[in-house]
Structures are given as C-alpha cells and as structure tokens.
Amino acid sequence: MQTRSFARRAALVLAALSLPTVALADGLIDNVTGITLDKDGKVLRFTGLLVSPEGKVVKLLADSEKRPVKLDWRADEHGKVLLPGFIDAHGHVMELGFRALELDLSGTKSLDEAKARIAAYAAANPEKKWIIGGGWNQEVWGLGRFPTAAELDTVVSDRPVWLARADGHASWGNSAALKAAGVTAKSVSPAGGRIEKTGVQPNGVFVDAAQALVEKVVPRPQPKERDVAFLKAQEILMSYGITATADMGTSMDDWLAYRRTGDAGNLRVRIMSYGMGVDTAVRIGGAGPTPWLYGDRLRMGGVKLYADGALGSRGAWLKKPYSDAPGQSGAGFMSDDVIRNYLSRAALDHYQVAVHAIGDRANAEVLSAIEDMADTYKGDRRWRIEHAQIVDPVDLPRFGKNGIIASMQPTHQTSDRAMAEARLGPDRLAGAYAWNSMLKNGATLAFGSDYPVEKPDPFAGWAAAFTRQDADGQPFGGWRPEERITREQAWWAFTGAAAYAGFAEDKFGRLGVGQRADFIIVDRDPLLASPTELRATKVEQTWIGGAKAWSRK
C-alpha cells in the first residue's frame, strides 16, 4: 500500500463528491417552461432540469422524457417559465449596496425634489456625521447646469453632505464638506479632474479626479458595514434575476468583503472581479488571476482601467470639441506611455484588461494601445473596452480585431439619448451605442447595466437592445434603429457572451450539461412578450448552483 499524499487525499475527496452514494442523488426541477440558448445562440426549450448534487446541469428533459425515479429532491413549478440566470457584464457591486443603504437621489425629477429628499434624510438620520449618497442627474432635473454648494446649504448646513452624480463621475458637496476638505479659492484642479467654480470660488461640484479632494476626508465605511452593503447588493441583484456579475473596479476592501462573505458561506451571486488598477489586482492575485473560489463564485481575473470620464460631465475624451461646449474636448486619464505600461504589466501575468472608454478619442487611443500589445501578448486575451459609447465609425472595424470585447449597457442609450445629441450634435452619432455595428464588425458584444448608475434590471436592457426605445416607447420607431440587434442576440449578450467576457463560459451563462445550474423562475415568456411586457417581467425565484438563493416574498 502506498503512503498517503496530499494529491491522493484530494483525489479521494473528489471521488467522494462525484460518486453516487445513498445520500447523493440528482435533483429535478420539473414541469417548467424552460428556455435557454445553446452555445451557438440557438433557442432550446425543455420541461425538466436535472441537477447534480454539486449543483450542475445533468440534463435538460423534454416533456416526453422519463424522469428519474431516484431523486434527492424535486420541485414542481407548475408550468412556470425557467430561464438561465442573467449576467451583468459591467456593474459596481459594493456601490450598489451602499447606494441602497445611503441617501438615494435616483429618480428625482427636479432639484427641489432632491432637496426635499435630502432634508428628510438628514432629519431622519441625526446621528450620521456626514450625509452620504448619490444618484442625482442635473440633466434629468432640466437644470442646464450643475447644482451648487449654496443650494445644498439651504437644506443641510450643520454637517457635511457629499452626493455622487448618478454616473459616479462627479460629486456635489455642501459648504461644510468643502470646509472639512480644506477646499478654497486657492485649490487647483488635479490632472484628470475639475473643480467647478463660480469665478474663482469652488461652487460645490467636483468632476472625476477632483472628487478625491473631498473624498479623502469622507469617513470610510467599517469592514462590517461593507459586509452589510455587500449582502444588500447581492439581494438586489438576485431580485433582478442576476446570478453572476462582473465587478468593474474591485478595491482591496471590496475584495476582503467578498472573501468574508464567501468564508462565511453566504456568497451566492458569482463575481467576476476586475481589480481597481493593476496594483490592486496583482496585490490580490500575485503571479496571476486567482482560481475560481467558493464553488465558482469569485475570481479576481483582471484589471479595470479608465481611459476617460463620462459624457454627462463632459469628461469623455472626444476627437473634436463638445457641440455644447466648444472649448472642451474632455481629456484622457492616462498618457500613451502609461496606458501601455499598465496593459503590459497586467498582460504579462495574464490578467485580463478592461478599459473604460466613452469618447471617440478615448476609444481610438485604447484600440491603438491594444493593437500595440497584440504582438507581444498572444493567445486568448479577451481585451475589453467598457462602454465603448461614442466610437468614430472609422474605428469600428478595429473592434473585431484582436478579439476585443465591447462591454456595453443598453439602458445607457435610452437614458443618454438627448444628452448625447446635445453633447455631440447630429453629425457624430453614427458610432454611438452602435451595438449592431459592433456585431457586424466582429466584436464580442457583452451587455450590462453599469449599476448603480442604472438599475441592474436586465429586462429593461434587453428590451432597449432590440427596440432602441425607452420604457415609454420613445422615440417612435427607435433611436437610430439600424443599431438594434435581435432579441436573441441581446439575450446572449446578457448571458453567454457576458460569461465569455469574463472567461467563464465553461462554468455558466446558459443551461447546458456541465454548466452550473443558475436559473430563474419568471412570470412570463420573454421571447413572446412585447417590449412593454418584457420590461414588466417579475422574477419569482433565483437559483444559483442548483439551490434556491432568493425568492419573492
């Protein structure tokens, strides 16, 4: 007999997990209207789903097929619709949780409504030393300018207030916040950021990198508060039917919260993590991406970088000046050398690279940087450009090259339409939110919501993707309808392609043999629903790894 080794022990434990024993039989979710795409994007229908003890798909069963007699469990869904779980290819997990726990201004239609909500929150939370929150959008308010510290002072002056714009690319503080941060008329805008001023006086709004001037004095959440925020985010995601998500810009503290949750056995939603900058990713992963942890529920696989800001705050980097601000073209966040150094450092150790690029200039620069890497870092790299919102049509073919993934957010198109027209004028929209052109040019199209900038609702994104219309059906016929894609293409971008974009297509993204049994029960058939009906879909149950993780009360 041989002396025991670690390898042998591991093999034995694996054998125990895969051997059929008395205690371990498959489970069956039966009597469903099951629908999934296969790996070629073809629609499959089934009525039963056989799930292994490890939570993987054993078989899709047709109505006519005999069910196994020996089962560990059986759930009868009485004909309800079962779909693969959705995957959000671009979200901000912790921000979603904190947004839900902090002052939330999303949905406010005017500055006055926002002020009323701020005042009520401050009155209801007298113990909070700072009022923290976000979700405002001066465009939605019809304000035509940023709000000011003075306006905020009229509702809260006894303590600092610090509120992020919906897109996270600007923040609004009151005078107490500016004072706490030591911001004065002498304060200078940092590289990659802008202190909004009235004359020489900072007037309360800080764009992009300038936000750090105040954020350095904002109280940081305690680790146990982060855990609460994470569980909140996870619950929200599951309530929308999202079973896996990319986390675009994981900080060290975010990562530690995910690990604590995983260690405690409470991690449900699968997180494809992209470290905030190369240093964070490498500090966590070391010589390369981490393995998949907690039964394929967490992996630090890559790096998030920023090539520019956002369109709303005119931080997006354009080839030509903004139509509504002739002196401005935005700015790049990294020099040519810096972006290449970052890409190289990440790629050397096989970290995937995901670069935020909104403006046409930023997209062109990132494409050039990727093209410069391609000869050195061969193999399956799956370079990602996040948002890819405004692309010069001459640059569109460059997406298909080098296997670049266009990671886009359909609801941004519906939310940003009017603003984009104002920022860009009529002649620069040919490559804006150009989903169909991306596919035609050979890019892989992965969809997400950029939550909490938008709601993490995949049904809203799905409907927008094949209609180019918002929830009110506007505009009639769709905005630049030539960029619509099919219902099935959009579904794939929110499932299989979003998994592929995170090197996870062998693990999840569709219901197929060997895939993790991540699925949802919903109240209608999304392939037969009108766009309005599709947007109204209710998720009733969310299952992850063959176990029910969430259900509607």
Question: Would you count residue 216 as binding a copy of itself (CB under 8 A)?
Answer: no
Secondary structure (DSSP) of 358-404: -SHHHHHHHHHHHHHHHTTS-SS---EEEE--B--GGGHHHHHGGG-
| Minimum distance from residue 396 beta carbon to a copy of itself (Å) | 38
Q: Which of 17, 43, 185, 528 binds a copy of itself (CB under 8 A)?
A: 17
Build a one-symbol-per-residue string for 291-330: x at contacts with a copy of itself by CB under 8 A, - elsewhere: x-x-------------------------------------
| Minimum distance from residue 141 beta carbon to a copy of itself (Å) | 38
Q: Using CB under 8 A, which of the segments 16-24, 161-169, 233-241, 445-453 binds a copy of itself?
A: 16-24
Question: Would you count residue 2 as binding a copy of itself (CB under 8 A)?
Answer: yes
Helix (H/G/I), strand (E/B), else coil: 332: coil
- Cα gap 234→535, rounded to integer Å: 21
Question: Would you count residue 16 as binding a copy of itself (CB under 8 A)?
Answer: yes
Q: Using CB under 8 A, which of the segments 133-141, 208-216, 222-230, 436-444 binds a copy of itself?
A: 222-230
Q: Which of 38, 65, 72, 324 binds a copy of itself (CB under 8 A)?
A: 72
Q: What is the separation, in whole angstroms, between the first and last Cα of the chain?
A: 56
Counting residues that bind a copy of itself (by CB under 8 A) gives 58
- Cβ proximity to a copy of itself, 193 vs 546, nearer residue: 546
Question: Would you count residue 284 as binding a copy of itself (CB under 8 A)?
Answer: yes
- Of 455, 453, 457, whose CA–CA distance to 166 is shortest? 453
Contact indicator for 245, 87 with CB cutoff of 8 Å: yes
- Cβ proximity to a copy of itself, 25 vs 217, nearer residue: 25
Question: Would you count residue 8 as binding a copy of itself (CB under 8 A)?
Answer: yes
The DSSP 8-state label assigned to residue 200 in this structure reads T
Question: Would you count residue 283 as binding a copy of itself (CB under 8 A)?
Answer: yes
- Cα gap 151→461, rounded to integer Å: 34
| Minimum distance from residue 180 beta carbon to a copy of itself (Å) | 21
Question: Would you count residue 403 as binding a copy of itself (CB under 8 A)?
Answer: no
- Cα gap 232→229, rounded to integer Å: 5
Name residues contacting a copy of itself, limited to 238-277 (CB under 8 A): 252-253, 256-257, 259-260, 263-265, 268
- Cα gap 335→356, rounded to integer Å: 14
Environment class of residue 270 by beta-carbon count within 10 Å: exposed (0-12), middle (13-18) or buried (19+)? buried
Question: Parallel, antiparallel, or unpaired for β 384-387 and 352-357?
Answer: parallel
- Cα gap 196→208, rounded to integer Å: 11
Question: Would you count residue 119 as binding a copy of itself (CB under 8 A)?
Answer: no
Question: Would you count residue 69 as binding a copy of itself (CB under 8 A)?
Answer: no
* Paired tokens of 326: 């002739």
Q: Which of 27, 448, 458, 461 binds a copy of itself (CB under 8 A)?
A: 27
Question: Would you count residue 397 as binding a copy of itself (CB under 8 A)?
Answer: no
The DSSP 8-state label assigned to residue 427 in this structure reads G
Beta-strand runs (E) in 426-538? 444-447, 519-522
Question: Would you count residue 129 as binding a copy of itself (CB under 8 A)?
Answer: no
Cross-strand bridge partners of residue 136: 165
* Paired tokens of 364: 């062109």
- Cβ proximity to a copy of itself, 212 vs 256, nearer residue: 256
| Minimum distance from residue 268 beta carbon to a copy of itself (Å) | 8
Only one residue has tokens 């809260």, namely 156
- Cα gap 305→338, rounded to integer Å: 11
Instruction: Give the interface with a copy of itself as residue ranges (CB under 8 A).
Output: 1-6, 8-10, 12-13, 15-17, 19, 21-24, 27, 51, 53, 55, 71-75, 222-224, 226-227, 252-253, 256-257, 259-260, 263-265, 268, 282-287, 290-291, 293, 349, 545-549
